[in-house]
């Protein structure tokens, strides 16, 4: 008798410079260096990207200037930390094109000391005598966030170190109204950005795929990878759900794909040949997707689910089926096997493919051709080998024709 078991894996302004006294520090040899807390491997690609970022943001910078700006980052941070320990500190910023670090302090004496520190570190710097310390700015910002005028205008409160003020960004039509009502001294009312924005979701692997919900993506429970996404479905009223395995049920937490939450698991069954659960979509990000997608590791990482097996008689022993899941290799391919039985303990048995822990819940589909796919089932269990002996390995799934009546959901499909 073949032994089977469930696999239950373990379970982120520009502003006008203040009119103030400006002190400039001459440059001397670097006598103090900032050191990282711990040694780490060199990431040459990230360094090259950081240098390129300077030139992208400031096209007038040369390659050498961008390299110098990057090379001094630790030393500039050292300077910032030393100067900010003074109660007179009012903020700082780095002007990359000129290579100058700007330091704001509330007294000439403190400004002079800051320049001496910059000189010892070999950093070109200018010091500005300002009215408000950083602590003053933070207190003012906190009080403004609780201000009735700011709340009424849905304003966004921030600190602008260059002007040594707190800013209240409001929509264009509210600027004059807010100014007329009056704001505290040290607060500048500005027009908020109206640039179009959108959440940065995407799909670079099964583990980080949240542009849409796709069969085969990795499911996370309360932030931890656990199982795999099955097919998406919806009620007649349009409420969307995602299938997965019923034994993946972990209570009342939130399921997600990539960095996007989906919602809670609202139904699950593990009985006989049925091992399925449904996750309700509560995230507006996914609400209006057409669905009917399967993850594939090529191109845009998606392909269409074209049809759904209507009856058990539609499933044919001896035909090829593929699994939309690859938990152990998030950038690996979908793997396929042969249907050996349509009623092995109430489940469909697939010969020649031993799926792995975490594949539970993934969608099995019939590959009718390179461009035609039909939903057959939700992955439940397999041998212990995890892609070991392909000759004798087997997997089992709950057939779709027996799952869809449980909650009355229609699996989403698309033509292409």
Alpha carbon distance 380, 397 (integer Å): 5
Instruction: State pTM to two decimals.
Output: 0.58
Q: How many residues does the chain have?
A: 416
pLDDT, position 22: 63
Residues of the chain with pLDDT under 70: 1-43, 148-155, 171-175, 177-178, 180, 182, 192-199, 385, 388-392
On the CB side of 89, CA atoms within 13 Å amount to 17
Question: Strands (DSSP E) along 96-223, which ranges?
Answer: 100-105, 125-129, 156-160, 165-170, 187-191, 218-221
Contacts with 90 (C-beta within 8 Å, 6 or more apart), sequence order: 104, 105, 106, 128, 130, 132, 133, 134, 136, 137, 161, 164
Q: Identify the burial level of 43 via C-beta atoms within 10 angstroms of its C-beta, where 0-12 means exposed, 13-18 middle and 19 or more buried.
A: exposed
Give CA–CA dist 399/380, Å, rounded: 10
- Say if CB 244 and CB 267 are below 8 A apart: no
pLDDT at 193: 60
Instruction: Extract the tokens encoding 401.
Output: 């024709």
CB 362 within 8 A of CB 376: no
Exposed (0-12), middle (13-18) or buried (19+): which is 333, by Cβ within 10 Å? Answer: exposed
Structure tokens at 122: 């070999």
Element housing 107 (H / E): none
What's the CA gap between 398 and 395, in Å, rounded?
Answer: 11
Q: Cβ-count burial of 200 within 10 angstroms (0-12 exposed, 13-18 middle, 19+ buried)?
A: exposed
Quick check: helix, strand or coil at residue 225? strand
Joined together, the tokens standing for residue 202 give 């995407």
Rounded CA gap, 350 and 295, in Å? 20
CA distance 154 to 194: 14
Residue 43 contacts by C-beta under 8 Å, 6 or more apart in sequence? none
| 3-class DSSP string for 324-343 | ECCCCCCCCCCEEEEEEEEE
Give the pLDDT confidence score for residue 339 in this predicted structure: 93
Alpha carbon separation from 269 to 226, 247, 277, 341 (Å, rounded): 17, 7, 6, 22
Question: What is the structure's pLDDT at 192?
Answer: 64
């Amino acid at each position: 008798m073949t032994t089977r078991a469930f696999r239950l894996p373990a379970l982120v302004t520009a502003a006008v410079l203040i009119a103030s006294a400006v002190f400039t520090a001459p440059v001397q040899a670097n006598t103090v260096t900032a050191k990282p807390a711990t040694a780490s491997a060199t990431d040459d690609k990230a360094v090259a990207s950081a240098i390129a970022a300077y030139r992208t943001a400031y096209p007038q910078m040369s390659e050498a200037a961008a390299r110098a700006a990057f090379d001094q980052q630790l030393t500039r941070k050292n300077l910032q930390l030393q100067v900010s320990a003074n109660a007179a500190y009012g903020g700082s910023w780095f002007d990359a094109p000129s290579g100058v670090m700007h330091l704001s302090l509330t007294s000439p004496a403190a400004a002079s000391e800051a320049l001496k520190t910059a000189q010892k570190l070999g950093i070109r710097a200018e010091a500005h005598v300002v009215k408000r310390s950083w602590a003053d700015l933070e207190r003012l910002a906190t009080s403004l966030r609780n201000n009735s005028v700011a709340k009424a205008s849905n304003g966004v409160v921030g600190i602008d170190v260059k002007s040594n003020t707190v800013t209240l960004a409001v929509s264009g039509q509210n600027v004059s109204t807010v100014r007329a009502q009056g704001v505290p001294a040290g607060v500048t009312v500005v027009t908020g950005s109206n640039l179009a924005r959108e959440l940065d979701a995407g799909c670079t692997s099964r583990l980080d795929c949240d542009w849409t919900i796709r069969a085969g993506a990795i499911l996370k429970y309360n932030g931890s990878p656990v199982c795999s996404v099955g097919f998406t479905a919806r009620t007649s009223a349009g409420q969307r759900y995602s299938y997965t395995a019923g034994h993946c049920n972990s209570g009342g937490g939130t399921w997600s794909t990539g960095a996007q939450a989906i919602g809670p698991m609202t139904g699950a069954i593990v009985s006989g040949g049925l091992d399925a659960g449904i996750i309700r979509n509560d995230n507006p990000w996914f609400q209006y997707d057409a669905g009917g997608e399967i993850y594939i590791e090529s191109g845009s990482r998606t392909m269409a689910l074209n049809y759904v097996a209507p009856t058990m008689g539609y499933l044919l022993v001896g035909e090829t089926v593929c699994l939309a899941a690859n938990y152990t290799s998030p950038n690996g391919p979908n793997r396929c096997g042969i249907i050996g039985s349509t009623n092995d303990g109430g489940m469909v048995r697939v010969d020649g493919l031993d799926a792995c822990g975490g594949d539970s819940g993934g969608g099995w589909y019939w590959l009718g051709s390179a461009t035609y796919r039909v939903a057959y089932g939700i992955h439940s269990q397999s041998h212990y080998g995890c892609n070991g002996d392909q000759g004798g390995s087997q997997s089992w799934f709950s057939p779709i024709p027996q799952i869809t009546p449980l909650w009355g959901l229609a699996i989403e499909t698309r033509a292409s």
